[in-house]
Chains A and B, each alone.
Chain A
Amino acid sequence: MMTLEKKQNEIIEEFDLFDDWMDKYNYLIELSKDLPEMDPENKTEENLIEGCQSKVWLHAEMKDGKLIFQADSDAIITKGIIALLVNVLSGRTPQEIVDADLYFIDRIGLKENLSPTRSNGLLAMLNKIKAYALAYRSKQ
Protein backbone atom coordinates (compact mmCIF):
# COMPACT_ATOMS: atom_id res chain seq x y z
CA MET A 1 0.00 0.00 0.00
CA MET A 2 1.15 3.48 -0.87
CA THR A 3 2.32 5.64 2.03
CA LEU A 4 -0.07 8.32 3.17
CA GLU A 5 2.29 10.95 1.85
CA LYS A 6 2.68 9.36 -1.57
CA LYS A 7 -1.08 8.89 -1.90
CA GLN A 8 -1.73 12.53 -1.04
CA ASN A 9 0.91 13.76 -3.45
CA GLU A 10 -0.66 11.70 -6.18
CA ILE A 11 -4.03 13.35 -5.60
CA ILE A 12 -2.45 16.80 -5.54
CA GLU A 13 -0.78 16.11 -8.89
CA GLU A 14 -4.06 14.90 -10.30
CA PHE A 15 -5.88 18.06 -9.24
CA ASP A 16 -3.04 20.25 -10.56
CA LEU A 17 -4.03 19.15 -14.05
CA PHE A 18 -7.34 20.95 -13.76
CA ASP A 19 -7.64 24.58 -14.70
CA ASP A 20 -10.96 25.37 -13.22
CA TRP A 21 -13.52 24.25 -10.73
CA MET A 22 -15.77 22.63 -13.28
CA ASP A 23 -12.99 20.18 -14.12
CA LYS A 24 -12.36 19.54 -10.43
CA TYR A 25 -16.04 18.86 -9.92
CA ASN A 26 -16.14 16.59 -12.93
CA TYR A 27 -13.25 14.68 -11.43
CA LEU A 28 -15.09 14.39 -8.11
CA ILE A 29 -18.12 13.11 -10.02
CA GLU A 30 -15.90 10.45 -11.60
CA LEU A 31 -14.53 9.50 -8.19
CA SER A 32 -18.05 9.18 -6.83
CA LYS A 33 -18.83 6.64 -9.53
CA ASP A 34 -15.74 4.62 -8.67
CA LEU A 35 -16.55 4.44 -4.97
CA PRO A 36 -17.49 0.84 -4.18
CA GLU A 37 -21.15 0.47 -3.36
CA MET A 38 -21.93 0.50 0.32
CA ASP A 39 -23.61 -2.53 1.88
CA PRO A 40 -27.23 -1.43 2.37
CA GLU A 41 -27.29 -2.81 5.91
CA ASN A 42 -24.53 -0.34 6.81
CA LYS A 43 -26.63 2.64 5.79
CA THR A 44 -27.86 3.06 9.32
CA GLU A 45 -28.93 6.10 11.28
CA GLU A 46 -25.82 5.55 13.37
CA ASN A 47 -23.54 5.81 10.34
CA LEU A 48 -25.22 8.97 9.11
CA ILE A 49 -23.03 12.03 9.54
CA GLU A 50 -24.76 15.01 11.14
CA GLY A 51 -24.16 18.47 9.86
CA CYS A 52 -24.28 17.92 6.11
CA GLN A 53 -26.93 19.31 3.78
CA SER A 54 -26.71 16.08 1.87
CA LYS A 55 -26.84 12.68 3.51
CA VAL A 56 -23.49 11.04 4.12
CA TRP A 57 -23.07 7.55 5.53
CA LEU A 58 -19.73 6.33 6.77
CA HIS A 59 -19.11 2.84 8.07
CA ALA A 60 -15.87 1.49 9.50
CA GLU A 61 -14.73 -1.99 10.34
CA MET A 62 -11.47 -3.51 11.41
CA LYS A 63 -9.74 -6.13 9.25
CA ASP A 64 -6.28 -7.43 10.16
CA GLY A 65 -5.53 -4.36 12.22
CA LYS A 66 -6.56 -1.99 9.42
CA LEU A 67 -9.64 0.19 9.25
CA ILE A 68 -11.79 -0.35 6.18
CA PHE A 69 -14.24 2.41 5.32
CA GLN A 70 -17.43 2.24 3.34
CA ALA A 71 -19.25 5.43 2.41
CA ASP A 72 -22.08 6.85 0.39
CA SER A 73 -23.93 10.10 -0.14
CA ASP A 74 -27.10 11.16 -1.93
CA ALA A 75 -25.29 14.17 -3.43
CA ILE A 76 -22.69 13.37 -6.06
CA ILE A 77 -20.07 16.01 -5.26
CA THR A 78 -20.25 15.14 -1.59
CA LYS A 79 -19.87 11.50 -2.54
CA GLY A 80 -16.78 12.43 -4.57
CA ILE A 81 -15.31 14.20 -1.55
CA ILE A 82 -15.93 11.29 0.80
CA ALA A 83 -14.54 8.97 -1.88
CA LEU A 84 -11.31 10.99 -1.79
CA LEU A 85 -11.10 10.57 1.97
CA VAL A 86 -11.84 6.86 1.73
CA ASN A 87 -9.19 6.43 -1.00
CA VAL A 88 -6.61 8.11 1.18
CA LEU A 89 -7.45 6.59 4.55
CA SER A 90 -9.13 3.23 4.09
CA GLY A 91 -6.87 0.27 4.81
CA ARG A 92 -4.63 2.11 7.25
CA THR A 93 -4.14 1.44 10.94
CA PRO A 94 -6.15 3.46 13.47
CA GLN A 95 -2.89 4.99 14.75
CA GLU A 96 -1.94 6.12 11.26
CA ILE A 97 -5.35 7.73 10.78
CA VAL A 98 -5.29 9.44 14.17
CA ASP A 99 -1.86 10.90 13.35
CA ALA A 100 -2.65 11.71 9.71
CA ASP A 101 -1.79 15.21 8.53
CA LEU A 102 -4.15 15.59 5.59
CA TYR A 103 -2.38 18.40 3.78
CA PHE A 104 -3.86 17.43 0.43
CA ILE A 105 -7.23 18.96 1.36
CA ASP A 106 -5.70 22.40 1.48
CA ARG A 107 -3.56 21.86 -1.61
CA ILE A 108 -6.41 20.78 -3.88
CA GLY A 109 -8.53 23.76 -2.86
CA LEU A 110 -11.04 21.98 -0.68
CA LYS A 111 -10.02 23.87 2.42
CA GLU A 112 -12.60 26.57 1.82
CA ASN A 113 -15.12 23.81 2.41
CA LEU A 114 -13.61 22.94 5.75
CA SER A 115 -14.99 25.64 8.01
CA PRO A 116 -17.54 24.23 10.47
CA THR A 117 -20.38 26.25 9.03
CA ARG A 118 -19.89 25.03 5.49
CA SER A 119 -22.78 22.87 4.61
CA ASN A 120 -20.98 20.04 2.87
CA GLY A 121 -19.73 18.75 6.15
CA LEU A 122 -16.21 17.86 5.08
CA LEU A 123 -15.16 18.70 8.62
CA ALA A 124 -17.91 16.46 9.99
CA MET A 125 -16.68 13.64 7.76
CA LEU A 126 -13.11 14.06 8.96
CA ASN A 127 -14.23 14.18 12.59
CA LYS A 128 -16.20 10.97 12.12
CA ILE A 129 -13.21 9.23 10.52
CA LYS A 130 -10.93 10.34 13.33
CA ALA A 131 -13.52 9.30 15.90
CA TYR A 132 -13.69 5.81 14.39
CA ALA A 133 -9.90 5.59 14.42
CA LEU A 134 -9.71 6.69 18.06
CA ALA A 135 -12.41 4.25 19.09
CA TYR A 136 -10.77 1.31 17.31
CA ARG A 137 -7.33 2.23 18.60
CA SER A 138 -8.52 2.06 22.18
CA LYS A 139 -10.09 -1.35 21.46
CA GLN A 140 -6.79 -2.75 20.26
Chain B
Amino acid sequence: MTKTNYNIQKIRSDFPILSRKVYDKPLVYFDNAATTQKPRCVIDRVKEIYTLKNSNIHRGVHYLSSQLTEEHENARGTTREFIHAEHSHEIIFTGGTTDSINLVAYSFGEKYVHEGDEIIISEMEHHANIVPWQMLCEKKNAKLQIIPMNEQGELQLEEYKKLISEKTRLVAVTQTSNTLGTINDVKRIIDIAHQQDVPVLVDGAQSIQHTKVDVQEMDCDFFVFSGHKIYGPTGIGVLYGKEKWLSEMPPYRTGGEMIRNVSFDKTTFNELPFKFEAGTPNYTGVVGLEEALKYISQIGLDQINAHEKNLLQYANKKFNDIEGFTTYGTSSNKISVISFLLKDIHHYDIGMVLDKMGIAIRTGHHCTEPTIRHFNIEGTARASLALYNTTEEVHKLYEALLKVQKMFG
Protein backbone atom coordinates (compact mmCIF):
# COMPACT_ATOMS: atom_id res chain seq x y z
CA MET B 1 0.00 0.00 0.00
CA THR B 2 1.18 3.49 -0.77
CA LYS B 3 1.88 5.60 2.25
CA THR B 4 0.27 9.02 2.32
CA ASN B 5 0.20 11.75 4.91
CA TYR B 6 -3.56 11.58 4.88
CA ASN B 7 -4.92 12.62 8.27
CA ILE B 8 -7.87 10.28 8.47
CA GLN B 9 -8.70 11.03 12.10
CA LYS B 10 -8.85 14.74 11.42
CA ILE B 11 -11.01 14.14 8.37
CA ARG B 12 -13.37 11.88 10.30
CA SER B 13 -13.75 14.49 13.00
CA ASP B 14 -14.93 16.94 10.33
CA PHE B 15 -18.06 14.82 9.85
CA PRO B 16 -20.32 14.97 12.92
CA ILE B 17 -22.51 12.05 11.86
CA LEU B 18 -19.60 9.62 11.85
CA SER B 19 -19.41 9.66 15.62
CA ARG B 20 -23.01 8.57 16.12
CA LYS B 21 -24.15 5.08 16.89
CA VAL B 22 -26.86 2.94 15.35
CA TYR B 23 -28.39 0.07 17.34
CA ASP B 24 -25.82 0.98 19.97
CA LYS B 25 -22.96 0.19 17.60
CA PRO B 26 -20.57 2.62 15.96
CA LEU B 27 -21.87 3.58 12.53
CA VAL B 28 -19.93 2.17 9.59
CA TYR B 29 -21.18 4.12 6.62
CA PHE B 30 -20.58 2.34 3.33
CA ASP B 31 -23.45 3.77 1.30
CA ASN B 32 -21.53 6.68 -0.13
CA ALA B 33 -22.49 6.07 -3.74
CA ALA B 34 -26.07 6.78 -2.68
CA THR B 35 -25.19 9.89 -0.74
CA THR B 36 -22.18 11.21 1.15
CA GLN B 37 -22.13 12.67 4.64
CA LYS B 38 -21.60 16.38 5.21
CA PRO B 39 -18.59 18.01 6.82
CA ARG B 40 -19.22 20.55 9.54
CA CYS B 41 -18.13 23.45 7.30
CA VAL B 42 -20.96 22.69 4.86
CA ILE B 43 -23.52 22.38 7.66
CA ASP B 44 -22.29 25.61 9.20
CA ARG B 45 -22.36 27.52 5.94
CA VAL B 46 -25.95 26.53 5.22
CA LYS B 47 -26.90 27.36 8.79
CA GLU B 48 -25.20 30.74 8.47
CA ILE B 49 -27.28 31.60 5.43
CA TYR B 50 -30.54 30.89 7.21
CA THR B 51 -29.38 32.52 10.43
CA LEU B 52 -27.83 35.72 9.13
CA LYS B 53 -28.00 36.11 5.38
CA ASN B 54 -31.28 34.78 4.07
CA SER B 55 -32.80 36.82 1.27
CA ASN B 56 -34.03 36.16 -2.24
CA ILE B 57 -31.20 36.81 -4.64
CA HIS B 58 -30.63 38.61 -7.96
CA ARG B 59 -33.29 41.34 -8.11
CA GLY B 60 -33.31 42.73 -4.61
CA VAL B 61 -32.20 46.31 -4.06
CA HIS B 62 -31.38 45.82 -0.40
CA TYR B 63 -28.21 44.86 1.44
CA LEU B 64 -29.01 41.21 2.23
CA SER B 65 -30.10 40.46 -1.30
CA SER B 66 -27.04 41.92 -2.96
CA GLN B 67 -24.71 40.28 -0.43
CA LEU B 68 -26.20 36.85 -1.02
CA THR B 69 -26.36 37.37 -4.77
CA GLU B 70 -22.64 37.96 -4.72
CA GLU B 71 -22.02 34.82 -2.68
CA HIS B 72 -24.21 32.83 -5.03
CA GLU B 73 -22.34 34.05 -8.11
CA ASN B 74 -18.98 33.51 -6.40
CA ALA B 75 -20.06 29.92 -5.86
CA ARG B 76 -20.63 29.64 -9.58
CA GLY B 77 -17.06 30.78 -10.05
CA THR B 78 -15.77 28.22 -7.55
CA THR B 79 -17.70 25.49 -9.37
CA ARG B 80 -16.27 26.63 -12.70
CA GLU B 81 -12.80 26.45 -11.27
CA PHE B 82 -13.41 23.04 -9.69
CA ILE B 83 -14.19 21.41 -13.04
CA HIS B 84 -12.07 23.87 -15.00
CA ALA B 85 -14.80 25.15 -17.29
CA GLU B 86 -13.90 28.05 -19.53
CA HIS B 87 -16.73 30.38 -18.48
CA SER B 88 -18.84 30.79 -15.36
CA HIS B 89 -21.96 31.14 -17.48
CA GLU B 90 -21.42 27.57 -18.65
CA ILE B 91 -22.28 26.46 -15.12
CA ILE B 92 -26.04 25.95 -14.66
CA PHE B 93 -27.33 25.12 -11.20
CA THR B 94 -30.00 22.43 -11.21
CA GLY B 95 -31.71 20.16 -8.72
CA GLY B 96 -29.19 17.35 -9.24
CA THR B 97 -27.78 14.97 -11.82
CA THR B 98 -31.21 13.65 -12.79
CA ASP B 99 -32.50 17.18 -13.24
CA SER B 100 -29.44 18.14 -15.33
CA ILE B 101 -29.87 15.17 -17.67
CA ASN B 102 -33.58 15.88 -18.04
CA LEU B 103 -32.74 19.47 -18.93
CA VAL B 104 -30.38 18.41 -21.71
CA ALA B 105 -32.71 15.65 -22.94
CA TYR B 106 -35.50 18.18 -23.23
CA SER B 107 -33.69 21.28 -24.49
CA PHE B 108 -31.07 19.63 -26.68
CA GLY B 109 -33.61 17.09 -27.87
CA GLU B 110 -36.14 19.78 -28.71
CA LYS B 111 -33.71 21.51 -31.03
CA TYR B 112 -31.46 18.82 -32.45
CA VAL B 113 -33.19 15.42 -32.32
CA HIS B 114 -35.63 14.45 -35.04
CA GLU B 115 -37.31 11.41 -36.47
CA GLY B 116 -34.90 8.64 -37.40
CA ASP B 117 -32.04 10.12 -35.36
CA GLU B 118 -30.12 8.12 -32.79
CA ILE B 119 -28.88 8.66 -29.24
CA ILE B 120 -26.14 6.43 -27.84
CA ILE B 121 -25.98 5.45 -24.16
CA SER B 122 -24.29 2.49 -22.50
CA GLU B 123 -25.36 -0.72 -20.84
CA MET B 124 -24.05 0.43 -17.45
CA GLU B 125 -26.05 3.65 -17.14
CA HIS B 126 -28.04 4.64 -14.08
CA HIS B 127 -31.76 4.83 -14.85
CA ALA B 128 -31.40 8.62 -14.72
CA ASN B 129 -29.24 8.42 -17.82
CA ILE B 130 -31.53 5.96 -19.58
CA VAL B 131 -35.13 7.01 -19.06
CA PRO B 132 -34.90 10.69 -20.16
CA TRP B 133 -33.34 9.54 -23.47
CA GLN B 134 -35.89 6.79 -23.83
CA MET B 135 -38.70 9.33 -23.39
CA LEU B 136 -37.05 11.69 -25.85
CA CYS B 137 -36.68 8.92 -28.43
CA GLU B 138 -40.31 7.96 -27.99
CA LYS B 139 -41.43 11.53 -28.44
CA LYS B 140 -39.26 12.17 -31.49
CA ASN B 141 -39.44 8.72 -33.03
CA ALA B 142 -35.70 8.43 -32.62
CA LYS B 143 -33.71 5.34 -31.67
CA LEU B 144 -31.69 4.51 -28.58
CA GLN B 145 -28.44 2.62 -29.18
CA ILE B 146 -26.58 0.84 -26.40
CA ILE B 147 -22.82 0.39 -25.97
CA PRO B 148 -22.41 -3.14 -24.57
CA MET B 149 -20.04 -4.11 -21.77
CA ASN B 150 -17.88 -7.15 -21.18
CA GLU B 151 -17.82 -9.54 -18.22
CA GLN B 152 -15.48 -7.28 -16.23
CA GLY B 153 -18.05 -4.53 -16.58
CA GLU B 154 -16.07 -2.47 -19.06
CA LEU B 155 -17.53 -0.79 -22.13
CA GLN B 156 -16.65 -2.37 -25.45
CA LEU B 157 -15.36 0.58 -27.38
CA GLU B 158 -14.96 -1.36 -30.62
CA GLU B 159 -18.71 -1.95 -30.56
CA TYR B 160 -19.25 1.70 -29.72
CA LYS B 161 -17.36 2.77 -32.83
CA LYS B 162 -19.73 0.71 -34.94
CA LEU B 163 -22.76 2.41 -33.39
CA ILE B 164 -21.68 5.93 -34.28
CA SER B 165 -23.14 7.06 -37.58
CA GLU B 166 -24.44 10.14 -39.36
CA LYS B 167 -27.72 9.49 -37.54
CA THR B 168 -26.14 9.90 -34.08
CA ARG B 169 -27.12 13.18 -32.42
CA LEU B 170 -25.67 12.67 -28.95
CA VAL B 171 -23.71 10.22 -26.81
CA ALA B 172 -24.57 10.12 -23.09
CA VAL B 173 -22.31 7.97 -20.89
CA THR B 174 -21.36 7.74 -17.30
CA GLN B 175 -17.78 8.44 -16.33
CA THR B 176 -18.04 5.93 -13.49
CA SER B 177 -20.58 3.18 -12.86
CA ASN B 178 -22.46 3.49 -9.57
CA THR B 179 -22.97 -0.29 -9.45
CA LEU B 180 -19.71 -1.68 -10.81
CA GLY B 181 -17.29 1.13 -10.03
CA THR B 182 -15.81 0.98 -13.53
CA ILE B 183 -14.07 4.16 -14.64
CA ASN B 184 -14.78 4.60 -18.32
CA ASP B 185 -12.29 6.06 -20.76
CA VAL B 186 -14.53 9.02 -21.45
CA LYS B 187 -11.74 10.92 -23.16
CA ARG B 188 -11.59 8.26 -25.83
CA ILE B 189 -15.37 8.01 -26.07
CA ILE B 190 -15.50 11.76 -26.64
CA ASP B 191 -12.68 11.73 -29.21
CA ILE B 192 -14.45 9.05 -31.21
CA ALA B 193 -17.74 10.96 -31.12
CA HIS B 194 -16.12 14.26 -32.01
CA GLN B 195 -14.55 12.75 -35.11
CA GLN B 196 -18.14 12.60 -36.37
CA ASP B 197 -19.05 15.96 -34.80
CA VAL B 198 -21.30 14.23 -32.27
CA PRO B 199 -21.52 15.92 -28.86
CA VAL B 200 -21.13 13.93 -25.63
CA LEU B 201 -22.78 14.24 -22.23
CA VAL B 202 -20.79 12.79 -19.35
CA ASP B 203 -22.60 11.71 -16.19
CA GLY B 204 -20.20 12.63 -13.41
CA ALA B 205 -22.42 11.72 -10.45
CA GLN B 206 -20.00 9.00 -9.34
CA SER B 207 -16.72 10.46 -10.56
CA ILE B 208 -16.66 14.04 -9.33
CA GLN B 209 -15.99 13.02 -5.69
CA HIS B 210 -13.22 10.56 -6.58
CA THR B 211 -11.20 11.95 -9.47
CA LYS B 212 -10.04 15.29 -10.77
CA VAL B 213 -12.35 16.46 -13.54
CA ASP B 214 -11.21 18.93 -16.19
CA VAL B 215 -14.04 19.48 -18.65
CA GLN B 216 -11.85 21.36 -21.11
CA GLU B 217 -9.21 18.69 -21.23
CA MET B 218 -11.88 16.00 -21.42
CA ASP B 219 -13.58 18.14 -24.07
CA CYS B 220 -17.06 16.90 -23.11
CA ASP B 221 -19.97 18.95 -24.34
CA PHE B 222 -22.01 18.47 -21.18
CA PHE B 223 -20.98 17.33 -17.72
CA VAL B 224 -23.48 16.73 -14.92
CA PHE B 225 -23.19 15.98 -11.22
CA SER B 226 -25.00 16.24 -7.87
CA GLY B 227 -24.00 18.20 -4.80
CA HIS B 228 -25.01 15.58 -2.28
CA LYS B 229 -22.63 12.98 -3.67
CA ILE B 230 -19.66 15.28 -3.18
CA TYR B 231 -20.28 16.04 0.49
CA GLY B 232 -22.56 18.98 -0.31
CA PRO B 233 -26.27 19.58 0.32
CA THR B 234 -29.10 17.66 -1.30
CA GLY B 235 -31.25 19.26 -3.97
CA ILE B 236 -28.43 21.02 -5.75
CA GLY B 237 -26.75 19.85 -8.92
CA VAL B 238 -24.70 21.18 -11.78
CA LEU B 239 -24.98 21.15 -15.51
CA TYR B 240 -21.88 22.23 -17.34
CA GLY B 241 -22.42 22.81 -21.03
CA LYS B 242 -20.27 24.34 -23.70
CA GLU B 243 -21.50 27.81 -24.48
CA LYS B 244 -22.05 26.95 -28.13
CA TRP B 245 -24.71 24.40 -27.15
CA LEU B 246 -26.29 26.18 -24.20
CA SER B 247 -26.75 29.42 -26.09
CA GLU B 248 -28.61 27.61 -28.88
CA MET B 249 -30.76 25.35 -26.73
CA PRO B 250 -34.28 26.55 -25.82
CA PRO B 251 -35.18 27.00 -22.13
CA TYR B 252 -36.28 23.92 -20.20
CA ARG B 253 -38.51 25.37 -17.52
CA THR B 254 -39.91 28.84 -17.63
CA GLY B 255 -40.82 31.35 -14.94
CA GLY B 256 -39.05 34.05 -12.98
CA GLU B 257 -35.43 35.13 -13.35
CA MET B 258 -34.92 33.31 -16.66
CA ILE B 259 -36.80 35.98 -18.64
CA ARG B 260 -35.72 39.32 -20.03
CA ASN B 261 -39.10 40.82 -20.91
CA VAL B 262 -42.57 39.46 -20.61
CA SER B 263 -45.65 40.76 -22.33
CA PHE B 264 -48.76 38.84 -23.18
CA ASP B 265 -47.65 38.80 -26.83
CA LYS B 266 -44.07 37.69 -26.39
CA THR B 267 -41.43 36.78 -23.84
CA THR B 268 -37.71 37.15 -24.41
CA PHE B 269 -35.29 35.11 -22.40
CA ASN B 270 -32.41 36.08 -20.21
CA GLU B 271 -28.81 35.32 -21.11
CA LEU B 272 -26.77 32.36 -19.88
CA PRO B 273 -26.72 30.95 -17.27
CA PHE B 274 -29.99 32.48 -16.07
CA LYS B 275 -31.94 31.28 -19.10
CA PHE B 276 -31.87 27.80 -17.56
CA GLU B 277 -32.46 28.78 -13.96
CA ALA B 278 -36.17 29.47 -13.65
CA GLY B 279 -37.66 30.37 -10.30
CA THR B 280 -35.97 31.24 -7.04
CA PRO B 281 -32.56 29.57 -7.10
CA ASN B 282 -31.59 27.08 -4.41
CA TYR B 283 -29.06 29.55 -3.02
CA THR B 284 -28.44 27.66 0.22
CA GLY B 285 -27.70 24.59 -1.84
CA VAL B 286 -25.38 26.56 -4.10
CA VAL B 287 -23.26 28.06 -1.34
CA GLY B 288 -23.30 24.76 0.56
CA LEU B 289 -21.98 23.08 -2.57
CA GLU B 290 -19.29 25.72 -2.86
CA GLU B 291 -18.20 24.98 0.69
CA ALA B 292 -18.03 21.25 -0.09
CA LEU B 293 -15.95 21.87 -3.22
CA LYS B 294 -13.56 24.03 -1.22
CA TYR B 295 -13.31 21.33 1.45
CA ILE B 296 -12.47 18.69 -1.17
CA SER B 297 -9.94 20.96 -2.84
CA GLN B 298 -8.28 21.60 0.48
CA ILE B 299 -7.71 17.89 1.11
CA GLY B 300 -6.88 17.39 -2.55
CA LEU B 301 -8.51 14.95 -4.94
CA ASP B 302 -5.18 13.21 -5.56
CA GLN B 303 -4.88 12.48 -1.84
CA ILE B 304 -8.49 11.33 -1.65
CA ASN B 305 -7.99 9.14 -4.68
CA ALA B 306 -4.88 7.53 -3.20
CA HIS B 307 -6.64 6.87 0.11
CA GLU B 308 -9.64 5.31 -1.57
CA LYS B 309 -7.42 3.16 -3.79
CA ASN B 310 -5.70 1.83 -0.68
CA LEU B 311 -9.07 1.03 0.86
CA LEU B 312 -10.20 -0.75 -2.29
CA GLN B 313 -6.99 -2.76 -2.49
CA TYR B 314 -7.30 -3.77 1.14
CA ALA B 315 -10.97 -4.69 0.69
CA ASN B 316 -10.31 -6.75 -2.43
CA LYS B 317 -7.56 -8.66 -0.67
CA LYS B 318 -9.70 -9.34 2.39
CA PHE B 319 -12.94 -10.18 0.65
CA ASN B 320 -11.42 -12.45 -1.96
CA ASP B 321 -10.37 -14.68 0.94
CA ILE B 322 -14.01 -15.31 1.72
CA GLU B 323 -15.22 -18.50 0.13
CA GLY B 324 -18.14 -17.94 -2.22
CA PHE B 325 -17.52 -14.18 -2.47
CA THR B 326 -18.12 -12.79 -5.95
CA THR B 327 -17.46 -9.22 -7.04
CA TYR B 328 -19.43 -7.72 -9.91
CA GLY B 329 -17.36 -5.14 -11.72
CA THR B 330 -13.76 -6.29 -11.83
CA SER B 331 -12.18 -3.70 -14.07
CA SER B 332 -8.62 -2.83 -13.07
CA ASN B 333 -9.66 0.79 -13.39
CA LYS B 334 -12.40 1.37 -10.83
CA ILE B 335 -13.44 3.51 -7.90
CA SER B 336 -13.96 2.22 -4.37
CA VAL B 337 -17.32 0.61 -5.05
CA ILE B 338 -17.68 -3.10 -4.34
CA SER B 339 -20.79 -4.84 -5.62
CA PHE B 340 -20.86 -8.39 -4.38
CA LEU B 341 -22.78 -11.51 -3.52
CA LEU B 342 -22.10 -14.40 -1.17
CA LYS B 343 -22.85 -17.80 -2.61
CA ASP B 344 -26.43 -18.97 -1.93
CA ILE B 345 -27.26 -15.92 0.20
CA HIS B 346 -29.75 -13.31 -0.96
CA HIS B 347 -28.34 -9.78 -1.13
CA TYR B 348 -31.27 -8.57 0.91
CA ASP B 349 -30.41 -10.95 3.76
CA ILE B 350 -26.84 -9.66 3.70
CA GLY B 351 -28.02 -6.06 3.96
CA MET B 352 -30.55 -6.74 6.72
CA VAL B 353 -28.01 -8.42 8.96
CA LEU B 354 -25.20 -5.93 8.30
CA ASP B 355 -27.63 -3.14 9.17
CA LYS B 356 -28.16 -4.56 12.62
CA MET B 357 -24.37 -4.67 13.06
CA GLY B 358 -24.24 -0.93 12.37
CA ILE B 359 -22.94 -1.31 8.83
CA ALA B 360 -24.83 0.66 6.20
CA ILE B 361 -24.64 -0.77 2.69
CA ARG B 362 -27.13 -0.84 -0.17
CA THR B 363 -28.82 -3.84 -1.72
CA GLY B 364 -30.81 -4.33 -4.90
CA HIS B 365 -30.32 -3.16 -8.45
CA HIS B 366 -28.99 0.31 -7.54
CA CYS B 367 -31.21 1.92 -10.21
CA THR B 368 -29.26 0.09 -12.91
CA GLU B 369 -31.50 -2.83 -13.86
CA PRO B 370 -29.84 -3.42 -17.27
CA THR B 371 -26.41 -3.60 -15.59
CA ILE B 372 -27.65 -6.16 -13.07
CA ARG B 373 -29.41 -8.15 -15.78
CA HIS B 374 -26.15 -8.38 -17.70
CA PHE B 375 -24.79 -10.61 -14.95
CA ASN B 376 -27.97 -12.74 -14.75
CA ILE B 377 -28.59 -11.86 -11.12
CA GLU B 378 -31.40 -10.13 -9.23
CA GLY B 379 -29.26 -7.61 -7.42
CA THR B 380 -26.12 -7.18 -5.38
CA ALA B 381 -24.98 -5.94 -2.02
CA ARG B 382 -22.92 -2.81 -2.55
CA ALA B 383 -20.35 -1.25 -0.27
CA SER B 384 -19.23 2.14 -1.55
CA LEU B 385 -16.29 3.70 0.25
CA ALA B 386 -15.46 7.35 0.65
CA LEU B 387 -12.73 9.67 1.84
CA TYR B 388 -13.54 9.19 5.54
CA ASN B 389 -13.69 5.38 5.57
CA THR B 390 -10.91 3.37 7.17
CA THR B 391 -9.26 -0.02 6.79
CA GLU B 392 -10.59 -0.85 10.28
CA GLU B 393 -14.10 -0.35 8.96
CA VAL B 394 -13.37 -2.55 5.97
CA HIS B 395 -12.10 -5.18 8.37
CA LYS B 396 -15.35 -4.89 10.34
CA LEU B 397 -17.29 -5.55 7.16
CA TYR B 398 -15.08 -8.56 6.45
CA GLU B 399 -15.78 -10.03 9.87
CA ALA B 400 -19.46 -9.22 9.57
CA LEU B 401 -19.64 -11.05 6.25
CA LEU B 402 -18.13 -14.13 7.83
CA LYS B 403 -20.88 -13.95 10.46
CA VAL B 404 -23.52 -13.56 7.78
CA GLN B 405 -22.19 -16.64 6.06
CA LYS B 406 -22.37 -18.58 9.30
CA MET B 407 -25.96 -17.47 9.91
CA PHE B 408 -27.23 -18.49 6.51
CA GLY B 409 -24.85 -21.35 5.85
**A interface residues with partner B (beta carbon < 8 Å):** 20-22, 25-26, 29, 53-55, 74-78, 119-120
Contact = CB atoms under 8 A, between A and B. Distances in A.
A27 to B, nearest CB: 11
B346 A74 contact: yes
Contacts of A76: 345-346, 349, 408
A20 B407 CA distance: 14
B352 A77 contact: yes
Interface in B21-67: 23
A25 B407 contact: yes
A21 B349 contact: no
Contacts of A119: 348, 363-364
B349 A22 contact: no
B379 interface: yes
A29 B407 CA distance: 8
B23 A54 contact: no
Nearest to A52: B348
Contacts of B348: 53-54, 75, 77-78, 119-120
A108 to B, nearest CB: 14
A78 B347 CA distance: 12
Nearest to B355: A21
Interface string B340-378: 000001111100110010000001100000000000001
Contact of B352 (A26, A55, A120): A120
A119 B362 CA distance: 11
B408 A29 contact: yes
Contacts, number: 43
Nearest to B379: A53
B356 A53 contact: no
A17 to B, nearest CB: 17
Nearest to A26: B407
A78 B407 CA distance: 14
Q: Which of B23, B346, B349, B407 has the most CB of A within 10 A?
A: B349
A41 B348 CA distance: 25
Contact of A75 (B23, B346, B356, B407): B346
A74 B348 CA distance: 9
Contacts of B353: 22, 25, 77
Given A53-B363, A77-B348, 7 more contacts: A25-B407, A26-B407, A29-B408, A53-B347, A54-B346, A74-B378, A120-B348
Closest 9 interchain pairs by CB? A75-B346, A21-B356, A75-B348, A54-B348, A53-B348, A75-B349, A77-B352, A53-B364, A76-B349
Nearest to A22: B356
A11 B368 CA distance: 39
A20 B347 CA distance: 22
A32 to B, nearest CB: 10
Interface string B109-131: 00000000000000000000000
Contacts of A53: 347-348, 363-364, 379
A19 to B, nearest CB: 12
B226 to A, nearest CB: 20
Given A29-B407, A53-B379, A77-B352, A21 B346 contact: no
B219 to A, nearest CB: 40
B364 A25 contact: no
Contacts of B356: 20-22, 25
Contact of B349 (A20, A26, A55, A77): A77
Nearest to A78: B348
B293 to A, nearest CB: 31
Interface string B387-409: 00000000000000000000110
Contacts of B345: 76
Contacts of A29: 407-408
